[in-house]
Structure 1
C-alpha cells in the first residue's frame, strides 16, 4: 500500500472512530440527565429506572466509548507520525487541535466519574446542570472540526471569537429550553 493510500485509509478509520466516540459522548450525558431526574419519581419507579439507566450507562461506556476512545487516539497518533511528524513544530493548528482533544479526553473521564457517582447514589449534578454539561461535547467537536478543516488559513482571532459566540449560543439555547419546559409544567 502506498503512503497516500495508507494515509487515506487511516484518516477514514480515524473519522469513523471519532464519530463512534462522540456518539457515546453525546448520548451518555443524556442518559445521566434521565437518571438524575428519575430520582424525583416514586420509589418503585425510581428503583426500576435507576437500575436500567445504570445498565445502559455501563454498556455504553465500556462497549462503545472506551474502545472508540483508545482507537481514536491510536489512529490519530498514527496519522501524526505518518504525515505531520517531520513538521510537527511548525503546525500550530495541530497543537491547538491536540489541546482540544485533551479537553475532550478530560470530558470523557469526567463522564466515567459521573457514572460511578450516580451508581453510588451520589447525584453531584442536577438534570439542568447535566443538560449544560451535555453541550460541552458539541462545543468541543465544533472547535476541532473548524481547526482541522481551516488549518493554517483560519485567522485565529476570528476563529476564537466565532467559537465563543457559538458556545454562548448553545448555552443560551439550553437556558431558553429550560424556561420553556418550566412554563409547560
Structure 2
C-alpha cells in the first residue's frame, strides 16, 4: 500500500514540478523581452519578474522537485526490483537530465535578477522545449517499459525536437512581421 501512496504523491509532484519549470522559462522569456522597454518601464517590470520568479521557484517548483524525488526513491525502496529493469535506467537517466535542467534554470533566474543573463528570448524558447523532450522521454520510458524500440524512440525524440525547434522559429518569424 505504501508503494501506491508514494506513486500517487510522485505523480502529483512531477506534474507540479513540470508546470513550474514550464512557467518559469516563460517568465524568463518575458523578463528578457522586457529589456526592450523604456528604462523606467523595464525597472518596474524587472522588479515584478524577480518577485514572481522567486516565489514560483522557491514555493512551488523546487519543493515539487524534491518531493517528486523523495516519492520516487520511496517507490524504489519499497520495490527494489524496479532497479533491475532497463526502462528504469532510461527513466532515471532522463530524470538526472531534468534535475540538471532545473538547476540551470535556477542559475538563469539568478542571472536575470542580477541583470547578467545573456540568453536571448529565442534561446530561452528553445530551452523551454528541452523540458518537453525530456518529459516525453520519461513518460514513454515508463509507459512502454520493455516494449521500447530504441531506434523508433530515438528517431521519435529527434523528430519531436526538430518539430519544436521549427515551431519556435516559425513563431519568431510571424512575431517579427507584426
- Normalising to structure 2: TM-score of the pair? 0.97
For the 8 Å contact 2:3–2:74, the answer to whether it is kept is no
Which of residues 23, 36, 41 is equivalent to 2:37?
41
For the 8 Å contact 2:20–2:57, the answer to whether it is kept is yes
Give the Å deviation of 1:25.
0.5
Q: 2:91 matched to which residue of 1? A: 97
Deviation per residue, 1:28-77 (Å, 9 max, x gap): 00000010111110011000000000000000000001110111110011
Q: 2:111 matched to which residue of 1? A: 117
2:78 & 2:169 partners in 1: Cα distance?
A: 44
SS in 1 for 2:115: coil
Give the Å deviation of 1:87.
5.2
Structure 1, unmatched stretches of 5+, are: none
Give the Å deviation of 1:123.
2.2
Q: 1:30 matched to which residue of 2? A: 26
Q: How many residues align?
A: 178
Q: 2:146 matched to which residue of 1? A: 152
Q: 2:5 matched to which residue of 1? A: 9
Q: 2:101 matched to which residue of 1? A: 107
1:32 & 1:177 partners in 2: Cα distance?
A: 17
2:58 & 2:138 partners in 1: Cα distance?
A: 24
Give the Å deviation of 1:156.
1.6
- 2:81 equivalent to 1:86: yes
C-alpha spacing 1:87/1:102, structure 2 compared with 1 (3 Å): closer
Which of residues 27, 47, 52 is equivalent to 2:48?
52
- Normalising to structure 1: TM-score of the pair? 0.93
1:149 & 1:156 partners in 2: Cα distance?
A: 14
For the 8 Å contact 2:76–2:82, the answer to whether it is kept is no
1:128 & 1:153 partners in 2: Cα distance?
A: 36
Task: Give the ranges of 4+ consecutive aligned residues of structure 1 lying more than 3 Å apart after TM superposition.
Answer: none
Q: RMSD of the alignment, in Å?
A: 1.0
For the 8 Å contact 2:34–2:42, the answer to whether it is kept is yes
Structure 2, unmatched stretches of 5+, are: none
